[in-house]
Amino acid sequence: MSRRAWGLLSLLTLAIAGCASKAPYEGKSVAQLERMLRDSNATVQAQGAMGLAELGPRARSAVPALIRTLESSDTLVRRESAKALGKIGPDAQEAVSALVSACKDTEWTVRREAAIALGAIGSDEAGVVAALEKLRKDPDSLVRKAAQESLKKLNPAASGSQAPSRK
């Protein structure tokens, strides 16, 4: 899906969400949001991941469920799951290998969120650094920038290379 299509989809989602008094994930507990991840509807799953992202580190018990949803066939579910893991931060350490795999996703938005999440979790193991280094050569400039920023977080002393320029 092109960037323009993603932008239009995002605007439509925001417009629909603006019509409701609150988002479907607002005010829900971690357990309720985790149940949303197991729903058969991908939109509900994505909303569950969005809610978990809002809770950040308080959602650490949902890490195993978020790891499973990183393998969803739905791009939005994968993207929001990666984002939620990043918002959980260092407590999502067990998701590192799944996020490294997500760095190879066919969708640039998933690769970008996986790169951001790896920087937020803070693992500098060899597989993480190698995946982020590979993403520094990604065709998408936003993915390259996310990888560069995460590498800086993981090893500020070794980040002498310049951030990629915007296409």
Please report whether residue 123 resides in a domain: yes
The single-letter DSSP state of residue 25 is T
What pLDDT, on the 0 to 100 scale, is given for residue 124?
Answer: 73
Segments forming the whole domain that contains residue 125: 25-157
Of the candidates 111, 105, 65, the residue with the CA atom closest to the CA atom of residue 88? 65
What pLDDT, on the 0 to 100 scale, is given for residue 9?
Answer: 59
Q: Are 99 and 66 in contact (CB under 8 A)?
A: no
Please report whether residue 162 resides in a domain: no
Of the candidates 78, 64, 72, the residue with the CA atom closest to the CA atom of residue 34? 64
Please report whether residue 8 resides in a domain: no
What does the block give as tokens for 57? 């580190």
Q: Which residue's entry shows tokens 């393998």? A: 71
What pLDDT, on the 0 to 100 scale, is given for residue 12?
Answer: 55
Please report whether residue 36 resides in a domain: yes
| Number of folded domains that form the chain | 1
What's the CATH number where 106 sits? 1.25.10.10
Please report whether residue 13 resides in a domain: no
Please report whether residue 11 resides in a domain: no
10 Å CB burial of residue 77 (0-12, 13-18, 19+) is buried
Q: Supply the DSSP string of 129-143, one letter for each residue.
A: HHHHHHHTT-SSHHH
Please report whether residue 20 resides in a domain: no
CA–CA gap between residue 125 and residue 127 (Å, rounded): 6
Please report whether residue 9 resides in a domain: no
What pLDDT, on the 0 to 100 scale, is given for residue 5?
Answer: 63
167 residues of the chain, pLDDT tens digit each: 666 665 555 555 655 555 557 889 999 999 999 999 999 999 999 999 999 999 999 999 999 999 999 999 999 999 999 999 999 999 999 999 999 999 999 999 999 999 999 999 998 788 999 999 999 999 999 999 999 999 999 987 755 544 443 33
